[in-house]
């Protein structure tokens, strides 16, 4: 999806309980296809910077399953654990420009948003951990 505010490409989703428990996030192929060139069963890497400026590298794999379709899994056990992610947290990846001398794979900023209830209203706030 296009992020109109920043003019950059981004993709996002709300985490499921199983994604939190297993520390693997799944995306439909159509959500992430504009960002990667996939080869089935091959690993790919994502350099990610969180909202505190900490750098992470996530490992992903593309799958084509005749029963469930094409999808991507991204492993992030340390990130998930350190951030204390919960079911229904929203994860937003925004592509950032590649700088000279960086590794050739894609670079992203990641923001985690969590819904809180305040004065009877649901408010989505950025998780700063």
Q: What is the CATH number of the domain that holds 18?
A: 2.40.330.10
Locate 72 and state its tokens. 């991507």
Q: What is the mean pLDDT of residues 10-14?
A: 94
- Cα–Cα distance for residue pair 32/13, rounded to 1 Å: 11
Cα–Cα distance for residue pair 129/95, rounded to 1 Å: 21
Q: How confident is the model at residue 68 (pLDDT cuts 50, 70, 90)?
A: confident
Query: What is the model's pTM?
Result: 0.81
Domain that includes residue 42, residue range: 2-126
Percentage, residues of the chain above pLDDT 90: 48
Q: What's the number of domains the chain is made of?
A: 1
CB hemisphere CA count around 81 (13 angstroms):
5
Q: pLDDT band for 36, please (50, 70, 90 cuts).
A: confident
């Amino acid at each position: 999806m296009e992020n109109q505010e920043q003019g950059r490409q981004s993709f996002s989703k709300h985490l499921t309980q199983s994604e939190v428990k297993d520390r693997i996030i799944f995306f439909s192929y159509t959500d992430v296809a504009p960002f990667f060139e996939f080869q089935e069963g091959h690993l790919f890497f994502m350099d990610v910077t969180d909202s505190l400026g900490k750098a992470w590298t996530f490992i992903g794999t593309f799958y084509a399953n005749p029963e469930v379709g094409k999808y991507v899994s991204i492993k992030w056990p340390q990130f998930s654990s350190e951030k204390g992610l919960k079911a229904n947290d929203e994860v937003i990846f925004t592509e950032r420009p590649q700088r000279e001398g960086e590794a050739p794979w894609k670079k992203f900023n990641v923001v985690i948003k969590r819904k809180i209830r305040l004065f009877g209203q649901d408010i989505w706030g950025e998780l700063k951990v």
